[in-house]
Structure 1
């Protein structure tokens, strides 16, 4: 599965401000940034990402997904901290 396709699926489904996906073989990493995560538990955030990708996970096209979610404010702090 193409990383750009994953990003677009998540942006369209969740109205995210940013989505970044990377792949190492069949292992994928997703960073998602959106207001929709504000006030959500970590479990709910993970479920929000899995939802739109579920058919690709079920088909085996998408495997071993690592997810990091941020609100826009958290994302700004994360980028500054990791510079």
Structure 2
């Protein structure tokens, strides 16, 4: 599979999400930020993402996918933390 294919599956299943995809072959890692995750547990969020790629998982085209899943407000906090640690090391 290609990054663009993985991106397409997830974006189609979670419209409006912010998405970063990395990897190659049949192993990928993703960061997904979606309002659809509001009120859901981490496991429920991951299940939503996995549901978007169930077909390539079933065929073996996608073997492994690791993921980080955030709501928009959680992502803002994570981004602020990352920026803060980056500026404090300069």
Q: CA RMSD in A?
A: 1.4
Tell me if structure 2 keeps the 8 A contact 1:10–1:16: no
State the 1:16 CA deviation: 3.4
Tell me the alpha carbon deviations over residues 17-67 of structure 1, each in whole angstroms, 9 at most, x when there is no partner.
311110055321011111000110111111100111011011111112101
Q: Determine helix, strand or coil for the equivalent of 2:53.
A: helix
Structure 2 length as normaliser, TM-score?
0.82
| Structure 1 runs not aligned, ≥5 long | none
Question: How many residues matched?
Answer: 83
Larger Rg over CA atoms: 2
Q: Determine helix, strand or coil for the equivalent of 1:28.
A: strand
Find out whether 1:5 has 2:30 as its counterpart. no
| Structure 2 runs not aligned, ≥5 long | 84-90
Find out whether 1:36 has 2:36 as its counterpart. yes
Structure 1 length as normaliser, TM-score?
0.88
